[in-house]
Amino acid sequence: GAGVSQSPRYKVAKRGQDVALRCDPISGHVSLFWYQQALGQGPEFLTYFQNEAQLDKSGLPSDRFFAERPEGSVSTLKIQRTQQEDSAVYLCASSLTDSPLHFGNGTRLTVT
Amino acid sequence: QKEVEQDPGPLSVPEGAIVSLNCTYSNSAFQYFMWYRQYSRKGPELLMYTYSSGNKEDGRFTAQVDKSSKYISLFIRDSQPSDSATYLCAMSRGGGNKLTFGTGTQLKVEL
């Protein structure tokens, strides 16, 4: 079946602009995670949803970062007033309960 | 100090070699251990998933976990140029819990 789908694949934003990144998880997967991957680094946890409930947002770096999953399927990660340090690849992953995570190909965000 | 340490490489080996990749960790609460492969401009792809200590084999890949030493390894036999990628170790407290990743080791298998 289809894997985790993320859009857009690439996003260039001017400093101070707001961006919205979309994740379509694998159908039926209740758990959804967002990770941030800086160049040459491993992914770092941002936030976690079980269905529509955001159970852990401890990894969000500031209050400029906001994530939602209103119907328990598609999720959006929003970054307000982007800064250069926000430049990274944003990865979405989904899973069944107590199962390994399956990742999308990410959105590469460049803030100029 | 990071919770998970992994040598970033790069590691270059000839085709057919046995590759050994490893990670150390400090948090004894980790129970689930994974290896992901990541090609350039792609997302991480799950290779191996193990629970607690022991060995697991899948084709040319063998994962080892030694919880007493807080040390995990991935062995690749008969390495191929198509194995050239970054290998990320990851671990979690629960089966579907958030993952803590290593930095990733960049591997190049040369003809």
For chain A, the straight-line distance linking the first and the last C-alpha, in angstroms and rounded, comes to 37
Q: Provide the pLDDT confidence category of residue A1 given band limits of 50, 70 and 90.
A: low
Nearest C-alpha neighbor of B74 from the set B95, B98, B99, B50: B50
Query: A8 preceded by cis ω (within 30°)?
Result: yes
Whole-angstrom CA distances from B70 to A13, A108, B26 are: 42, 33, 7
Q: Are A112 and A14 in contact (CB under 8 A)?
A: yes
The whole-angstrom distance between B111's CA and the closest CA on chain A is 25
Give me the percent of chain A exceeding a pLDDT of 90.
95
Structure tokens at A14: 């001017």
The Cα–Cα gap between A9 and B92 comes to 28
Q: Using one digit for the tens of pLDDT, what is the confidence trace for B74-103?
A: 999 999 999 999 999 999 998 668 899 999
Q: Do A101 and B96 touch (CB under 8 A)?
A: yes
Give A29-61 pLDDT, tens digit per residue. Answer: 999 999 999 999 999 999 999 999 999 999 999
**Could you tell me which of B8, B6, B14, B13 has the C-alpha nearest to residue B34?**
B6
| Shortest CA distance from A96: residue in chain B | B96
Nearest CA in chain B to A98: B96
| Confidence at residue B18, expressed as pLDDT on a 0 to 100 scale | 97
Mean pLDDT of all residues belonging to chain A: 96
If you average pLDDT over residues A88-93, what whole number do you get?
Answer: 98
* B10/A contact by beta carbon, under 8 A: no
What DSSP state is assigned to residue A72? S
What's the pLDDT at A99?
87
Q: What is the pLDDT of residue B97?
A: 80
Give the residue among B105, B103, B91 at the shortest CA–CA distance from B26.
Answer: B91
| Residue A46 and residue A35 in contact, taking contact as beta carbons nearer than 8 Å | yes
CB atoms within 10 A of CB A100: 18
Q: What are the tens digits of pLDDT across the range B17-65? A: 999 999 999 999 999 999 999 999 999 999 999 988 889 999 999 999 9
Say if the Cβ atoms of A100 and B104 lie within 8 Å.
no
d(CA A31, CA A51): 6
Structure confidence at residue A10 (pLDDT): 98
Q: Say whether pLDDT at A13 is over 90.
A: yes
Q: What angle do CA B52, B56, B60 make, to 5 degrees?
A: 150
pLDDT class for B8, splitting at 50, 70, 90? Answer: confident
Residue whose token pair is 């990410």:
A106
For residue B53, the model assigns a pLDDT of 86
**Is a pLDDT exceeding 90 seen at residue A97?**
no
Tell me whether residue A50 is exposed, middle or buried, using C-beta atoms within 10 angstroms of its C-beta: 0 to 12, 13 to 18, 19 or more.
Answer: middle
Mean pLDDT in residue range A61-86: 97
- B31–A contact, CB cutoff 8 A: no
What is the C-alpha separation between A89 and A76, in angstroms, rounded? Answer: 15
Reported as a single tens digit per residue, the pLDDT across A18-31 is 999 999 999 999 99
Euclidean distance between CA atoms B44 and A63, whole angstroms:
27
